[in-house]
Structure 1
Amino acid sequence: MSQEIDHDNAERLAALLNILAAAVEDDEDAVPIDTLDGYMTALICGPADASPLQAMDALFGEDWPAVLEEREAVDEFMEVLHERWNEIAEALDPEALMENADALRLSPLITEFDEATRASLLSQGVLTADQLDELPAPGVMWAEGFMQAVDDFEESWYAHDAEGEAGQMLDSLLMAIAAVAMPAGEQREAYINEAYEPEDEVDQDVLVDDALYAAQDLRLFWLQPPAGAQLNS
């Protein structure tokens, strides 16, 4: 059973992130809550001790508190950020994961642009029709955040021999997450053909669910690597 999201806290976090987004230079992309959530999830799943501040510094630069200080909002932001961090950590509690390996406990913060939201964005002039067509599919920004964290800490993430059992297992789990962000095309189809049975109906929702299971498995992987796993020297 998935962990419940504190929606009020998530909305507060999104609102405060919008303050940071408004301060982004015109030639830079704002970081959405999905990406931050995916990044923090990877840090919690990963092999090294980490904190939500590492995610903020990596995604927003070390000067990000200055923007919130102008609004006297740093303390509030730290409160909601840590609450979301603890929420993810609770969902990825190893004991709970091992008790029921088939349960999907992780509930990511994923923005879904349903028809009502798209119509509202268009009517308000926030986005043009062409921009609406370019909006990412659900889960893409979360998966991109997760994989960015893996890349940022690649030395610890890729410590196992790539040809060994642990290295191959790690690659398979990470591929399940990266697949969420694959655009339609040959690479995505090749992955689906290899990872799923021919009769399986695989859409974006299926890929997202399997990515969340992979994240849960990664949490346990780093606590209990396969027997005989070798680290790169």
Structure 2
Amino acid sequence: MAPTPVPETQDSDVEALEAVCERMVGFDPMANLEWLDGYMAALAAGPRRVPVEEWLPVFADGLFARVFADEADAAPARRLIAKRYAELCWQLDAEAILDAPDELRIDPLMYKFDADTPEDATPAEGDAPAEGAAPAQDEAVAVPAEPVPSQEAAPAEDEALTPADWPGDGVYWALGFGDAIADFADDWEEPDEDAEDAQLFHDLLESIALLAETEGEARQETMHRLYDGVDLDRDELIHEALFATQELRMYWLNHAAKPAQRRIEPKVGRNDPCPCGSGKKYKKCHGAEA
């Protein structure tokens, strides 16, 4: 049974969500749109679907509350974030992934450096989602108010990123993913080393963490171990990381905590021997007290 579709994030939603993130970047340079999307993707792929009202006050050390102190200002921003989070949860629906494990459903919001306009890095969606994607919504959520000036503001236009200092497509997404795991570490319990799928669990996490690395011997060694000595380009690494995210969702589905079994004691008849061992009938012993 296919999951019930949710409203798809429109271009206007992405622009509005980016405006939200631009305000947060003024207080924390890491908190851009790609980072936030990676953070939410980890929560959507994790052992439990953490409600927005639980994780939003936690992420980036309470950044959202500091930036959006006024509730009238915070409400539309919160709705935008919740809408995107719901879409990611839909894209990472375990049943849909199980029905088509070779299809890539997750469609990330990652910055793509535009070589034609090297002064800017623009947000772009990742690989197209599988067929049956969520239907479009006619109305987008309203754009929040203009950013509030900050002493820690993002770089000015003349200080914009260039190809030389751009960290790489998917870097912020992977960092956000890792930060979500750190914030909810109690949920992400590592398997025992001798568990049958312990290596799978660590390989999936490393496939995602590899996006945050752009150079170095350790990066090369990890890539060669994960991909049989093959050097993957950036787009291929992103592709593998997204599939790893879907597989993590399936891993947690298979390792979901089982509800405790309620033990039901057999009922003692009134004329049966009392379980206490007195030799009396139950009705003449502990049954009389009942």
| Band the TM-score falls in, shorter-chain normalisation | 0.7 to 0.9
Report the AA paired with residue 217 of structure 1: E
Query: Within 2, Cα distance between the matches of 1:144 and 1:222?
Result: 21
Q: Please name the residue that 2:24 is paired with.
A: 20
What residue in structure 2 maps to residue 155 of structure 1?
A: 186
Q: Which structure's residues are more often helix, by fraction?
A: 1
How far did 1:40 drift? 0.9
Partner of 1:185: 216
Q: Flag the 1:67–1:184 CA change in 2: closer, same or farther, 3 A.
A: closer
2-side partners of 1:140 and 1:89: how far apart? Answer: 21
Deviation at 1:215, TM superposition (A): 0.4
Shift of 1:84: 0.2
Return the match for 2:158 from 125, 128, 144: 125
Q: Which residue of 2 aligns with 1:135?
A: 166
In structure 2, the CA distance between the partners of 1:48 and 1:71, relative to structure 1 (3 Å rule), is closer
2:238 aligned partner = 208
Q: Is the 8 A contact 1:38 1:142 kept in 2?
A: yes
Answer with 92-101 or 43-52: which moved more: 43-52
The answer to whether 1:83 aligns with 2:114 is no
**For 1:81 and 1:222, how far apart are their aligned partners in 2?**
24
CA distance in 2, matches of 1:95, 1:14: 31
TM value normalised by structure 2: 0.67
Tell me how far 1:65 sits from its aligned partner.
3.0
Q: 1:17 to 1:203 in 2, by over 3 A?
A: same
Residues in 2 aligned to 1:47 and 1:203: alpha-carbon distance in whole angstroms: 30
Corresponding residue of 1:103: 103
Report the count of equivalent residues: 217
Deviations 1:135-190 (A, max 9, x none): 21000100111111122222321242133123222101101101111121211111
User: Counterparts of 1:70 and 1:156 in 2: how far apart (Å)?
Assistant: 31
**Which one of 157, 160, 164 corresponds to residue 195 of structure 2?**
164
Asked if 1:11 corresponds to 2:15, the answer is yes
- 1:219 matched to which residue of 2? 249
Bigger shift: 112-121 or 88-97?
Answer: 112-121
| The structure with more radius of gyration | 2
| CA root-mean-square deviation | 2.7
Q: TM-score, normalised by structure 1?
A: 0.82
Q: Cα distance, 1:221 vs. partner? A: 0.8
Higher RCO (C-alpha 8 Å, min separation 6): 1
Counterpart amino acid of residue 252 in structure 2: W
2: CA distance, partners of 1:104 / 1:40: 17
User: Aligned runs of 1:38-117 on 2, under 5 Å?
Assistant: 38-62=38-62, 64-70=64-70, 72-117=72-117
The code of the aligned residue for 1:58 comes to V
Separation (CA, whole Å) in 2 of partners of 1:55 and 1:109? 19
Per-residue Cα deviation, 1:96-118 (whole angstroms, up to 9, x for no partner): 10111000111111011212442
Partner of 2:260 in structure 1?
none
Distance in 1 (CA, whole Å) between partners of 2:185 and 2:63 is 24
Query: 1:35-65 CA distances to partner (integer Å, 9 max, x unpaired)?
Result: 1111111111111340234443333333633
